[in-house]
Amino acid sequence: MSEEVKIVEKKKIPTGATLLFAFPDVGLVGVIAASHLIDELGLTEVAYLDSNLLPPLIVLHEGLPHSSIRIFAGQDTLLAVSEVPIPTDVIYPIMDALINWGKSKNVKMMISLSGIPIQDRQDVTELKSFAAASNAEALKTAQEKGLEILTEGYMVGPQAVVLQRAAEAGSPALTLLAQCFYNYPDPEAAAEVLKELAKITGLKVNVAKLLEKGEEIRLRARDVMKRTQQEMSKMKKSQEYDIPMYVS
Amino acid sequence: MSIRKRQSISDIIDEYFEDMEKWAEQVRETLSERPCWDLKTCAIEPLREITVTPTEVIVTVDLPYAKKETVQVKVVNATSLEIFAEMKKKIRLTELGVTHRKGVIQRFHGWIRIPVTVNIDKMRVQNKKGILEIKLPRKR
């Protein structure tokens, strides 16, 4: 693990769990989904990330400071989540630290929760979801569970690093992507990605409350979305719209 | 002494546009370093997106909690629009997690600058799922 980034454990960490990643990205799909998972499953904070590579920022909750990148746990589940976008220039070291920490806990699979932006999202009533995998084994698992595969395209952001590193290590990892707004918080897409997660992990959560509170979530998430837009612009996130050209 | 590599015209143009983009980004960030809400007017600035296609400009505005019948798009001039919408209920700042200030938010208010010339008289507006969509045909 890089010395510039450390994971501080506060409680006993379960081993052999599934490690989920949820970071601010298009539609804030992962973060909204993570917040709902934490509430519904009663996940507790077990560790946090500390790094001088990140801006000097803490999140105050009930008067006490918390790291912006925290790890929650429940039975067989670990969830790494951030309330603020990770600055583009430190995504690699931050993700490397989290991935290596996950490996040290013998996680059985790493799954990123995110979105894939579509134009005219407001006209779409039935959102589709896709999966991308780190290796043939994970790809087969996703297909067998009925997930549609994102066969070609570009992926930009923390989830790209997770797939890349897992592929290098031969570890199973998936990215689940629900169609979503690019620039607006999208609770409906978060609900879709949670349905896909349930197919893979069996982690079933009721998304009715999430959909019911959709407008409130969109309003509350407004500023995080705005900050995320700025970071997405820096990392050229819009490249995900591009027509892929795979050179074979 | 540094020796500058000879560049093609297209490289120079690309570099120029990249520099312009970075500068515009810095300006945008500086301008956005303020709260999105204004307690004097009880208004919050909505998120918005502007897409320029070869034939039209499409503006979308995220208006969660807005009363559909109160949404107004006012043409300020040939390049600017003003958006208003009342919310379904007054929202205290504490409900949004802002505990160091007292106040309520009860409307959306925002300005939109259209980046290319358009036929503003032919503006089409619709509201779907709390997303306001404004289509403006480009002037030929």
What is the DSSP annotation of A58-116? -EEETTEEE-SEEEEEETTEEEEEESSPPPGGGHHHHHHHHHHHHHHTT-SEEEEEEEE
- Report yes or no on A242 lying in a domain: no
Domain encompassing residue A14 = 5-222
Average pLDDT of every residue of chain A: 93
ipTM of the complex model: 0.85
| Location of structure tokens 């000879």 | B6
| Token couple for A138 | 């994970």
pLDDT at A74 (0 to 100): 94
3 state DSSP class of B68: helix
The 10s digit of each residue's pLDDT in B24-54 is 656 665 555 677 888 889 999 999 999 999 9
Query: Are A230 and B28 within 8 A, CB to CB?
Result: yes
The count of structural domains within chain B is: 1
The count of structural domains within chain A is: 1
- Report yes or no on A175 lying in a domain: yes
Q: What percent of chain B has pLDDT over 70?
A: 81
Residue B25, amino acid: E
pLDDT at A239 (0 to 100): 80
Q: Determine the residue of chain B that is closest to A183 in CA distance.
A: B49
Query: Are A184 and B47 within 8 A, CB to CB?
Result: yes
- Report yes or no on B15 lying in a domain: no
pLDDT: which is higher, B39 or A243:
B39
pLDDT-based confidence at residue B101 (cuts at 50, 70, 90): confident
Domain encompassing residue B100 = 36-137
- Report yes or no on A248 lying in a domain: no
**Which residues on chain A place their C-beta less than 8 Å from a C-beta of chain B?**
119, 122-123, 181-185, 214-216, 218-220, 222-223, 225-226, 230, 233-234
In whole angstroms, give the CA distance from residue A192 to residue A163. 21
pLDDT at A1 over 60: no
Query: Are B133 and A223 within 8 A, CB to CB?
Result: no
CB proximity B64 to A under 8 Å: yes
Query: Are A122 and B25 within 8 A, CB to CB?
Result: no
Residue B72 CB partners (closer than 8 Å, separation 6+): B83, B84, B85
What is the rounded average pLDDT of the residues A65-94? 95
Residue to mutate among A61, A127, A219, with most B CBs inside 10 A, is A219
pLDDT: which is higher, A1 or A159:
A159
pLDDT at B3 (0 to 100): 39
The 10s digit of each residue's pLDDT in A207-236 is 999 999 999 999 999 989 999 988 888 888
How near does any CA of chain A get to the CA of B65, in Å? 6
Q: Residue B64 is part of a domain; what is its CATH number?
A: 2.60.40.790
pLDDT at A121 over 80: yes
- Report yes or no on B108 lying in a domain: yes
* Structural element, H or E, at residue B20: helix B9-32
Q: Give every strand in the sheet of B131-137, ordered side by side.
A: B48-52, B56-62, B131-137, B124-128
Q: Residue A17 is part of a domain; what is its CATH number?
A: 3.40.50.10900
pLDDT-based confidence at residue A180 (cuts at 50, 70, 90): very high
Facing residue for A219 by CB, picked from B25, B60, B65: B65
- Report yes or no on B87 lying in a domain: yes
What is the rounded average pLDDT of the residues A106-125? 94
pLDDT at B7 (0 to 100): 61
Angular region, A218: left φ>0, alpha ψ -120 to 50, beta rest: alpha
In whole angstroms, give the CA distance from residue A135 to residue B28. 40
pLDDT at B1 (0 to 100): 37
CB burial string B8-23: b at 16+ within 10 A, e below: eeeeeeeeeeeeeeee
Which residues in chain A touch residue B64, judged by CB atoms under 8 angstroms apart?
A: 214-216, 218-219
CB proximity B32 to A under 8 Å: yes
pLDDT at A236 (0 to 100): 84
- Report yes or no on B1 lying in a domain: no
pLDDT-based confidence at residue A48 (cuts at 50, 70, 90): very high
pLDDT: which is higher, A10 or B13:
A10
- Report yes or no on B75 lying in a domain: yes
Go through chain A and tell me how many residues it has.
248
Facing residue for A222 by CB, picked from B28, B36, B130: B36
pLDDT-based confidence at residue B5 (cuts at 50, 70, 90): very low
Alpha carbon B21 to its chain centroid, in Å, reads 17
Q: What percent of chain B has pLDDT over 90?
A: 59
| Token couple for A67 | 């790291």
Residue B140 CB partners (closer than 8 Å, separation 6+): none
- Report yes or no on B27 lying in a domain: no
pLDDT at A145 over 90: yes
